[in-house]
Chains A and B, each alone.
Chain A
Amino acid sequence: MMCSLSLFPSPVPAGQVTLYEANNELVSASSADCYEKQEWDPPSLHFPRESLKPHSRPESSSKAAFLDHRDTLWMRSAGAWRDAGLSGLLDEITNSAEEVPKWLTVSSGCVLALLRWMSSFHGSLFPHLTLSSEEMVAEFSQVLDWSDCAVRGFSWHPHTDKFAVALLDDSIKIYNSKSATAPTLKHRLQRSVAALQWKPLCASALAVACHTCLLVWHVDPTSLSTRPSSGCAQALSHPGHSPVTSIAWSPSGSLLVSASPADTAMMVWDVAAETCVPLQRVGGGGVTLISWSPDGGRVLAATPSALFRVWETRMWTCERWPCLKGRCQSGCWSPDGSRLLFSVQGETVIYALTFTDAPGGSKAAAVVADLSATTFSDGDITVGGEVQSLAWDPSGERLAVLLKGDPQSSSHPSIIAVFKTRTSPVFELLPCGFVRGEAGAEPRLMQFHPHFQHGALLTVCWSNGRISHVPFYFSRAGGSRSGLGGSPPIPHLTSKAADNKTHTLYTK
Chain B
Amino acid sequence: MFSLKQNCWFLRKVIWWRAIASIAWSVLLLPVTVTVFVFLSRFCLFHPILWVSECLALLTAASTIFSLVLLCGVVLVAGFFNLEYYTVVPSIPCTRVALLGKVLHPRQCVHSLVHCTMGMLMSWCAAVTIGGRYGTLGSPCTQTDSGSSQQTCLNEYHLFFLLAGAFMGYSHSLLGVVQNMNYVSFQTIQQYKYLRFKGSLPRVIKCSVVQALYSVRNYVALYFFFGYIPRTWICTTLNLELDRSLHTLDSLAGLLDFSLLYHLWISGTFLLLIWYLTVLLFRIYVTEVYSFPVQSTFAEDADQCLPKVLTSSESLVMKFLALQDLALLSQYSPARRLEVFSLSLPGGHPHNWNAISKECLSLLNELTQRLVAHHDAVASNGRIKSQSASTDTTRSGSSGSSVAGTFGTEDVLKTPQPSSFIRTPGSVFLKSSMGGVHSSVTAPFTPDLDSPFSSPAIRRLAAHQEPSSPWYGSIQSPHIMRRGAKLWSASTDSQPKSSVATSPVPEPSTPPASPKPSFLSQWLQNRKEQVKSFLSRRVLIMYLFNKLPEASSQALFADSQAHIWALEGLSHLLAASFSEDRFGVVQTTLPSILSCMLTLQEAVDRHFKLPHASSKPVRASYSMGDSSYKTLRFALRAALKTAIYRITSTFGEHLMAVQISSEHRKRLQQFMEYKE
Question: Does B associate with A?
Answer: yes
The answer to whether B638 touches A271 (Cβ under 8 A) is yes
A479 close to B (CB within 8 Å): no
Which of B578, B579, B632, B642 makes the CB contact (< 8 A) with A254? B642
Chain B residue numbers with a CB within 8 Å of A204 are 676
Neighbour of B650 across the interface among A272, A279, A488, CB < 8 A: A488
* Nearest CB in chain A to that of B650: its residue: A488
Q: Is the CB of B645 within 8 A of A275?
A: no
Minimum distance in angstroms from B74 CB to a CB of chain A? 30
B 635-676 binary contact with A (CB < 8 Å = 1; else 0): 101110110011011111100000000000000000011111
**In the complex, how many angstroms separate the beta carbon of A336 from the nearest chain B beta carbon?**
14
Instruction: Tell me the B571-585 residues at the A interface (CB within 8 Å).
Output: 572, 575, 578-579
Whether A252 pairs with B652 at a CB distance below 8 angstroms is no
**In the complex, what distance in Å separates the CA atom of A270 from the CA atom of B638?**
10
Partner of B635, one of A273, A316, A486, A490: A273
| Contact digits for B605-631, partner A, Cβ 8 Å, 1 yes 0 no | 000000000001001000000001001
Please indicate the chain A residues that have their CB under 8 angstroms from the CB of B415 in the complex: none
Q: Is B332's CB within 8 Å of the partner chain A?
A: yes
B191 at the interface (CB under 8 A from A): yes
Q: Which of B189, B332, B652 has the most CB of A within 10 A?
A: B189
Report A-chain residues with C-beta under 8 Å of the C-beta of B616.
274
On chain A, the residues within 8 Å of B189 by CB distance are: 255, 268, 277, 313, 316
Interface size, chain A (Cβ < 8 Å): 38
Per-residue 0/1 for A166-180: is the Cβ within 8 Å of any B Cβ (1 yes, 0 no)?
000000000000100
A423 within 8 A of B: no
Whether A484 contacts B188 by the Cβ 8 Å rule is no
Min distance, Cβ A68 to any Cβ of chain B, angstroms: 33
Q: Is the CB of A201 within 8 A of B649?
A: yes
**1/0 contact trace for A133-167 toward B, CB 8 Å?**
00000000000000000000000010110100000
- What residues on B are CB-neighbors of A159 within 8 Å? 645, 649, 674
A377 lies within 8 A of chain B by Cβ: no
Question: Are A202 and B188 touching (Cβ within 8 A)?
Answer: no
Contact, CB under 8 Å: B642 / A252: yes
A203 and chain B: residue at smallest CB distance: B674
Is B639 in contact with A272, judged by CB distance below 8 angstroms?
yes
Interface assignment of B331: CB less than 8 Å from any CB of chain A: yes
Whether the Cβ atoms of A315 and B192 lie closer than 8 Å is: yes
Select B188's contact among A201, A275, A314, A486, beta carbons within 8 Å. A275
Residues B672 and A486 in contact, CB atoms below 8 Å apart: yes
Chain B residues with CB below 8 A from A61, complex form: none
Q: What residues on A are CB-neighbors of B632 within 8 Å?
A: 273
Report the bound CA distance from A485 to B655 in whole Å: 12
Residues of B within 8 A of A157 (CB): 674
The listed residue with most B CB atoms (<10 A of its CB), out of A221, A272, A315, A488, is A272
> In whole angstroms, what is the CA distance A313 to B191 when docked?
9
- Residues in B with CB closer than 8 Å to A362 are none
| Complex contacts, B359 vs chain A, CB 8 Å | none
Residues 389-435 of A at the B interface (beta carbon under 8 Å): none
Distance between A315 CB and nearest chain B CB, rounded to angstroms:
5
Instruction: Determine whether A478 belongs to the interface, using a CB cutoff of 8 Å to chain B.
Output: no
What residues of B have a CB within 8 angstroms of the CB of A132 in the complex?
Answer: none
B500, chain A: closest CB distance, angstroms: 39
Candidates B190, B672, B675; contact of A314 at CB < 8 Å: B190
Asked if B634 is at the interface (CB within 8 A of a chain A CB), the reply is yes
From A160, A201, A273, give the contact of B646 (CB < 8 A). A201
Q: Would you list which residues of chain A between 274 and 310 have a CB under 8 Å from chain B?
A: 274-275, 277-280
Residue on A nearest B626 in the bound complex, by CB: A275
The contact of B578 among A253, A272, A316, A488, by CB within 8 Å, is A488
Q: How far is the CA of A280 from the CA of B201 in the complex (A)?
A: 12
Contact of A203 among B190, B646, B675 (CB under 8 A): B675
* A120 proximity list for chain B (CB < 8 A): none
Contact in complex: B331, A252 (CB < 8 Å): yes
- A119 close to B (CB within 8 Å): no
In the assembled complex, the CB of A257 is this many whole angstroms from the nearest CB of chain B, namely: 10
A488 / chain B contacts, CB cutoff of 8 Å = 575, 578-579, 649-652
| B residues in contact with A178, CB < 8 Å | 673
Chain B residues with Cβ under 8 A from A278's Cβ?
A: 199
Across the interface, B676 reaches (CB within 8 A) one of A203, A271, A273, namely A203
Q: At the interface, yes or no: A489 with Cβ under 8 Å from chain B?
A: yes
What's the minimum C-beta distance from B642 to chain A, rounded to whole angstroms? 5
Whose C-beta in chain A lies nearest to the C-beta of B327? A254
Residues of A with C-beta under 8 A to B199: 277-280
Q: Does A226 lie at the interface of the complex (its beta carbon under 8 Å from any beta carbon of B)? A: no
With A270-B188, A272-B634 known as contacts, the answer to whether A202 contacts B641 (CB < 8 A) is: yes
Contact B639 A275, beta carbon cutoff 8 Å: no
Tell me which residues from 593 to 612 in chain B have a Cβ below 8 Å from any Cβ of chain A: none
Q: Is A507 an interface residue (CB 8 A)?
A: no
Q: What separation, in Å, do the CA atoms of A488 and B645 have in the docked complex?
A: 12
**CB of A487 within 8 Å of the partner chain:** yes
A222: interface (CB < 8 Å): yes
Separation of A393 and B575 alpha carbons in the complex (Å): 23
Docked complex Cα distance between A273 and B630 (Å): 8
Interface 0/1 of A307-347, CB less than 8 Å to B: 00000011111000000000000000000000000000000
* Residues from chain B with Cβ under 8 Å of A255 in the complex: 188-189
Interface centre among A221, A270, A313, by most chain B C-beta atoms within 10 angstroms, is A270
Q: B187: CB under 8 A from chain A?
A: yes
- A272 contacts B645, CB within 8 Å? no
Closest residue of chain B to A234, judged by CB?
Answer: B616
Which one of B572, B628, B649, B652 has the greatest number of beta carbons of chain A within 10 Å? B649
Closest partner residue, chain B, to A314 (CB atom): B332
In the assembled complex, B568 has its CB within 8 A of some CB on chain A = yes
3 A-B pairs with least C-beta separation: A486-B652, A272-B638, A273-B631
